[in-house]
Amino acid sequence: MVTKSAQKELEGPEIKAILEQGIAIPSQPKVLMELDELASQPNVSVKAVAKVIAKDPALLASVFKVVNSPAMGLSKRIDSAETAVTLLGLKQITNLLKSIAIRQALGGKSLAYEKFWERSGDIAKLAAIIAKKQVSVCNIFPDQAYMAGLFHDCGVPVLMQRFPNYCKALDSQNLEHWPELDAEDRLFNTDHCVVGYLVGKHWRLPDFILRSVRFHHEIWSVAHPAITMVAMLQMATHLYNLMMKLPQEIVWEDNWRNVIEELGIPEDGLLEFEEDALETFTLGG
């Protein structure tokens, strides 16, 4: 359960101190601001929403690529804005648009950014696959999990823009270990989780996804349903590390039994779950 002190931490001096370092939070594209405005109105028509989305053809094309992947598990192919809105609904399509737009907003051109977003994209797809497999247990949907996956570490590229040497290891051609982000935070007197939370808040993410971004290294610091989303992110990261043959993070080694319990995966079924999820990913998840 979230304590009063934890809630205060989300809004308190820690955030002020980070902002005073001159860290710039990226703004939402105009299309997303218009969609947020539409979402607040009653009885919005499908055509009105589709018209707004169609203003950014590149963003829409990226949405089609995501929604038609096995990770989303749709039975019908989506090839128009109206079809996307009809089948997914305004909230789901907005979630996916924000997920794709944050990558565009914080893309960068160096090898470091390329490596970062490739990893985040893979973790987002794996999180969506987990959500699809466990939706009856977790009540979290693929678009929500995909959003959390892309946003959970988005504080990192923000800090890379502010501090050129933050995660300098990502510029290496032979990166064997993912940088230890807590160590990077200590070095620069900052917190990538809080920065990611601020980005998500500015982009008006759902509250439970905001909390999962803030506490994705601290599975028992958040309340349900955020704790379920955090468990999903940790499972997705674990699967990514298996796939890339990387060492598992300490947070997984310490909490994996709690994670699988939260996700409704029996211990004797974990290996089968891992193999099935990774096979789905390999097939185009």
- Tens-digit pLDDT profile for residues 93-113: 889 899 989 998 998 888 999
How far apart CA 266 and CA 268 sit, in angstroms, is 5
How far apart CA 251 and CA 208 sit, in angstroms, is 20
Q: How confident is the model at residue 225 (pLDDT cuts 50, 70, 90)?
A: confident
Residue with tokens 């820690």: 14
How far apart CA 155 and CA 35 sit, in angstroms, is 24
108 neighbors 159 (Cβ within 8 angstroms): no
User: Token pair for residue 225?
Assistant: 């349903």
Judged against a pLDDT cut of 60, whether residue 6 lies above it is answered with: no
127 neighbors 144 (Cβ within 8 angstroms): no
How far apart CA 249 and CA 242 sit, in angstroms, is 11
CA gyration radius, the chain: 18
pLDDT in the model for residue 18: 76
Contacts of 207 (CB under 8 A, 6+ apart): 226
pLDDT in the model for residue 134: 96
Structure pTM?
A: 0.88
Phi, psi of 120 (to 5 degrees): -60, -40
Read off the pLDDT of residues 180-205 as tens digits, 9 standing for 90 and up: 999 999 999 999 999 999 999 999 99
Segment 235-249 shows an average pLDDT of 93
How far apart CA 277 and CA 275 sit, in angstroms, is 6
How far apart CA 169 and CA 258 sit, in angstroms, is 31
| Residue 16 identity | K
Judged against a pLDDT cut of 60, whether residue 85 lies above it is answered with: yes
Segment 60-81 shows an average pLDDT of 83
Judged against a pLDDT cut of 80, whether residue 9 lies above it is answered with: no
Computed over every residue of the chain, the mean pLDDT equals 88
Between 10 and 139, the more confident residue is: 139
Domains of the chain: 4-26+109-282 (1.10.3210.10), 28-105 (no CATH)
How far apart CA 22 and CA 50 sit, in angstroms, is 37
Segment 15-34 shows an average pLDDT of 85
Between 220 and 152, the more confident residue is: 152
116 neighbors 200 (Cβ within 8 angstroms): no
Segment 144-154 shows an average pLDDT of 95
258 neighbors 250 (Cβ within 8 angstroms): no
Residue with tokens 């891992």: 274
Of all residues in the chain, the percent with pLDDT exceeding 90 is 52
Between 220 and 143, the more confident residue is: 143
pLDDT in the model for residue 283: 83
pLDDT in the model for residue 241: 95
Distance of CA 142 to the CA centre of its chain: 11
Residue with tokens 């989780």: 193
Q: How confident is the model at residue 91 (pLDDT cuts 50, 70, 90)?
A: confident
Read off the pLDDT of residues 245-273 as tens digits, 9 standing for 90 and up: 998 888 898 899 999 999 999 999 999 99
